[in-house]
Amino acid sequence: MSQTTTDHGEVPDLAVVLPGMRVSYEGEALNEADLAPTWTEQLQRWLDEAISSGVSEPNAMVLATADPEGRPSSRTVLCKGLDSRGVAFYTNYTSAKSHELASTRYASATFPWYLLHRQVHIRGPVEKVPAAETAKYWASRPRGSQLGAWASPQSGIMPDRRALENALKAVERRFADVEEIPPPPHWGGWRIKPDVVEFWQGREDRMHDRLRYVRDDDEWRIERVAP
Ligand SMILES: Cc1cc2nc3c(=O)[nH]c(=O)nc-3n(C[C@H](O)[C@H](O)[C@H](O)COP(=O)(O)O)c2cc1C
């Protein structure tokens, strides 16, 4: 990968460059009156806008989990389901993230739509996606991704790349005559059932709009938060 250079071919001094890097936001306002009646519809609306604006991987979200001692980890996953029950993604149930979700039962996720000067943050308890729903999504995945899910002990230490490739070859042999590969028992979905969903719109002079849907039992209220 090539190193970033200035117009004169010099490598920039990050100690000088980083403090000066900032983007001015002149985005449209996000007012209470603009919000959809539910967080689900508002998130669908912004996701539609992210998709139609050409945001790269618009359904990518940064998922944060914590271990039982409260030490956090984050990584990107793809949102594959969005409805009033919550936001779903699929992964390996023996991965580091799944161990943390299984023990703390809580997660947060952030959609980072920098191109639109927007982000959406959700937080809440998690539950596993029912097996029948997982199977439906699994069937829509390309065969190569299905084989990869069978082959990869996600988050496990591998001695080298070859070990991973050998695992894939073994799985390819195993399923060579199988037309419809079943989902692995160690693979499936998690759903975050938000109790807070925050919509952030960048505005001029760092006077951003932050509007939150907050759950109170079965009722939702809207809060404005200082930027
Ligand atoms: C754009 C993007 C999308 C990703 N989507 C997923 C996903 O949907 N599910 C998944 O398990 N990992 C996904 N990954 C890989 C994860 O970020 C992560 O490396 C992996 O899940 C292992 O995380 P863990 O060891 O913390 O459990 C994605 C990575 C990127 C960059």
Tell me whether residue 57 is in a domain: yes
Tell me whether residue 196 is in a domain: yes
For ligand 1, atom 6, the nearest C-alpha belongs to: 77
How many structural domains is the chain composed of?
1
Question: Residue 76 has which token pair?
Answer: 């990107």
Question: Taking CB atoms and a 6 Å cutoff, what residues make up the pocket around ligand 1?
Answer: 57, 60, 73, 75-78, 89-91, 95-97, 154-155
For ligand 1, atom 13, the nearest C-alpha belongs to: 77
| DSSP for residue 159 | S
Tell me whether residue 206 is in a domain: yes
Instruction: List Cα–Cα distances, 72 to 4, 17, 154, 175, 191, in angstroms.
Output: 31, 29, 18, 37, 19
Instruction: Count Cα neighbours of 121 within 13 Å in the Cβ-side half-sphere.
Output: 11
Is residue 206 part of the annotated active site? The answer reads yes
Name the pTM for this structure. Answer: 0.94
Whether pLDDT at 4 is above 70: no
Percent of the chain beyond pLDDT 70? 96
Residues 210 and 197 sit within 8 Å (Cβ to Cβ): no
**pLDDT value of position 146:** 98
Three-class SS state of 107: strand
Tell me whether residue 148 is in a domain: no
Tell me whether residue 5 is in a domain: no
Whether pLDDT at 179 is above 70: yes
98 — pLDDT class (breaks 50, 70, 90): very high
Assign residue 41 the CATH number of its domain.
2.30.110.10
Mean pLDDT score of the chain, rounded to an integer? 95
Tell me whether residue 8 is in a domain: no
Q: What residue has token string 């509007």?
A: 211
Distance between CA atoms of 135 and 185, rounded to whole angstroms? 11
Span from the CA of 80 to the centroid of ligand 1 (angstroms): 13
Span from the CA of 45 to the centroid of ligand 1 (angstroms): 25
Whether pLDDT at 3 is above 70: no
Whether pLDDT at 1 is above 50: no
Nearest atom (ligand 1) to Cα of 75 = 17
**pLDDT value of position 26:** 83
pLDDT of 115-150, one tens digit each? 999 999 999 999 999 999 999 999 999 999 999 999
Question: Residue 6 has which token pair?
Answer: 């200035």
Nearest atom (ligand 1) to Cα of 73 = 26
Q: Which of 206, 210, 215, 224 is catalytic?
A: 206
- Comparing C-alpha atoms, which of 28, 61, 84, 36 is closest to residue 222? 36
Tell me whether residue 167 is in a domain: no
Range of the domain at 56: 26-141+183-224
- Torsions phi, psi for 45 (to 5 deg): -60, -50
Task: Provide mean pLDDT across the span 157-184.
Answer: 97
Number of H helices, E strands in the chain: 6, 10
Task: Provide mean pLDDT across the span 18-29.
Answer: 90
Tell me whether residue 120 is in a domain: yes
